[in-house]
A and B are shown apart, each in its own frame.
Chain A
Amino acid sequence: MKKSVSNWGNYPVIESDERFFTLKEKLNSLLKEDKQLIARGNGRCYGDAGLADQIISTVKFDKVLAFDTTNGIFECQSGLTLDKILDVIVPKGWFLPVTPGTKFISVGGAVASDIHGKNHHVDGSFSNHVMEIELILASGETIICTPELHHDLFTATCGGMGLTGIITRVKFGLKKIETAYIKQKQVKARNLDHVLELFEEYKHYTYSVAWIDCLKKGSHFGRSILILGEHASKDDLTEKQKTAPLVLPIKKQVSIPFFFPSFVLNKWSVQLFNFLYYNKNFKNEINNVVPYEPFFYPLDAILNWNRGYGRKGFVQYQFVLPLSQKDGLTAILQKISSKGLGSFLAVLKVFGKQESLISFPDEGYTLALDFPVRKGLFDFLDELDQMVLQFGGRIYLSKDARMKPEIFWKSYPHAVEFADIVRKYDPGSRFSSVQSKRLLQTK
């Protein structure tokens, strides 16, 4: 039975036959039908990576299998989402080694996207903490891979967008924490140069990210707020917080109940929002202790915030440029600023070193912003792609919905090697998504 499915950006929407399983036996029988398919977790990637004519949903395959509370090792089925994991591990004094800006993604998705977080420059990406992955190959065979065992399969699975097989189980290491709170520092930056200097100055901080106003021109071009954080120790807490340092106060969530009409977002409303956001901090520097949730997941408090972009949906554009390409970053930001198509806020982060096959992070600057889908947008993004390519950068596949194949092949240096490994384990392209058909199979 086909139904309409889309990922978090609400673009594209396709008709798909989505199948669920709670037991491995059911998954095996689903795989006996000889169809092309892709595994999909909680549908929080933005574009078309988790979409196909047939989707095997892992959302019901979500059990915790083991939790070593002494050494901080966690093992679960691939459909379990990070919010559920946090509920289990935080009260025991452990935290996710790496987390993206939403806790509503599945563990399988975290591996397939090889997610990064605000601590990339210190701790690397998610796959750096993965000890074991169990996956089912196109042949139906269940295989366990680790950084040592079936090394090629392991590296192609981390960041491989589900093309090597269906991830069923993941074992990974956690990070020890004393409290569920974050010691936060927010520093205002006048412009782009200033914020990049601040990133350098504060690089010893575990967590860092900047919210940047990409519509401001002139000497304030690139003005931003740099947000830094460390896990708080017990001594940092108030007396009241100290009574239960690993438990957060309960907070209400709000939800956007329907799609906003598309005229709500325009150049002026975005400018107004950015003005308010930047000026909400009166002081140039704020230091405080906050619960981990608003620090890591500010947007999760607003359920369905993606509906704010209207029914046509949006694409999130995230690219990374090498450290040497600071001018490139300026040039791209200027182009976005001059066009006025950008989002409320853009997120800027400096990645640390990473060696990987197909994963997105690379040492350098990464910028992410939302673009509501409208006429002329894709032509504009094609122009941006050319600039990213020219400056030696690349685009995050988990957020992509429209990149041209030649950009992919030219910008991912190990794309050919990756495709060879995928072909070795899946010669008939059993696992394929709308994205992989667009990018991979066209070469």
Chain B
Amino acid sequence: MPVVLILGATSDIGVAIAKKFAAEKYGVILASRNPEQLSPLKSDLAIRFGIDCYSCQFDAMDFGSHQNFYQSLPVKPDIAICIFGYMKDNEFVSAHPDELVRTIGTNFTGAASILNIIARDFSKRKSGTIVGISSVAGLRGRQSNYIYGSAKAGFIAYLSGLRNRLFRDQVHVLTVLPGFVNTSMTEDLQLPPLLTAQPVEVAVALYKGVSKKKNTIYVKWFWKWIMLIIKMIPEPIFKKLRL
């Protein structure tokens, strides 16, 4: 039974991805800050899909613990998926220094720190898949969301470099750019329904991306074109826009 490690398994997208891989008969390791919260999902996956399921504690911001965390996993994964993220209102984050550190620390430093450890192991084993969920917000900094966006931009660059580095070791690296997703994180935002994906759509697209060894995927196809247009706006004009 191949095994998938899900970092950030209590999030709505994490749950959907865990279900998708369990349905495809993968063993699942669920990791999150509060492992007691994982116990219903753990029993659900094990009973419903008849797979092995483990849960363990992982804190993205506790960088020093990452090495130990990976060493003490019950089995080593074949696929590692990094889902966790932290997003608060940009104004609020810019006014609170600890929130800024937490936003960048979770979305970039924490992600790069744990994936770096996993990448070294996969590289040695000459196999494996690493999936990072970044964000279309990382493709161009906008005044409404640039702190979160810059961390996600860093993560996109990290994944792209990792893909380049691990190519000759037969390790596959997939970058996922979901666009708007209907989750607890976005519950209070007014999202345009046509542009918004459901967590299960992210899970299906991600699973397909892993199977087909894609480099970068957008969950909904039009985001690629929307972001292309946004990226192409010349800076002298862009800086005057309210995006």
Contact = CB atoms under 8 A, between A and B. Distances in A.
Interface in B21-48: 37, 40-41, 43-44, 47-48
B190 A22 contact: no
A100 B12 CA distance: 30
Nearest to A169: B40
Nearest to B41: A63
Interface in A44-83: 60, 63-67, 77
A88 interface: yes
A25 B187 CA distance: 16
A266 B113 CA distance: 67
Contacts of B12: 22, 60
B104 interface: no
Given A22-B12, A22-B15, A67 B47 contact: yes
A276 interface: no
Contacts of B10: 22-23
10 contacts: A22-B10, A25-B37, A64-B43, A64-B44, A64-B47, A64-B48, A65-B40, A65-B44, A66-B47, A88-B48
B68 interface: no
Given A23-B10, A60-B12, A66 B190 contact: no
Q: B10, B12, B15, B48: which has the most chain A beta carbons within 10 Å?
A: B48
Contacts of B47: 64, 66-67, 88
Interface of A: 1, 19-20, 22-23, 25-26, 60, 63-67, 77, 84, 87-88
Contacts of A87: 48
B188 interface: yes
A22 B43 contact: no
Contacts of A20: 184, 187
Contacts of B48: 64, 84, 87-88
B19 to A, nearest CB: 10
Given A22-B15, A23-B10, A66 B43 contact: yes
Contacts of B187: 19-20
B182 to A, nearest CB: 10
Interface string B43-81: 110011000000000000000000000000000000000
SS of B interface (majority)? helix
Contacts of A26: 184
A398 B188 CA distance: 30
Nearest to A80: B44
B171 to A, nearest CB: 32
Interface in B168-188: 184, 187-188
Contacts of A19: 187
B44 A23 contact: no
B184 A63 contact: no
Nearest to A23: B37
Given A1-B190, A67-B47, 5 more contacts: A20-B184, A22-B12, A26-B184, A65-B43, A87-B48
A64 B43 CA distance: 6
Contacts of A22: 10, 12, 15, 184
A63 B43 contact: yes
A87 B40 CA distance: 18
B37 A63 contact: no
Contacts of A88: 47-48
A295 B108 CA distance: 54
A64 B53 CA distance: 14
A1 B189 CA distance: 9
Q: A20, A66, A87: which has the most chain B beta carbons within 10 Å?
A: A20
B41 A1 contact: no
For the complex of A and B, list the 9 residue pairs with the smallest distance between their C-beta atoms, beginning with the closest. A63-B40, A63-B44, A64-B44, A64-B47, A67-B47, A65-B43, A23-B37, A88-B48, A64-B48
A397 B149 CA distance: 50
Contacts of B15: 22
Q: B10, B41, B43, B190: which has the most chain A beta carbons within 10 Å?
A: B43
A87 B12 CA distance: 22
B206 to A, nearest CB: 19
A280 to B, nearest CB: 38
B53 to A, nearest CB: 12
A63 B190 CA distance: 28
A363 to B, nearest CB: 37
Contacts of A77: 40
Nearest to B190: A1
B26 to A, nearest CB: 18
Interface in B148-207: 184, 187-188, 190
Nearest to A60: B12
A130 to B, nearest CB: 19
A87 B15 CA distance: 19
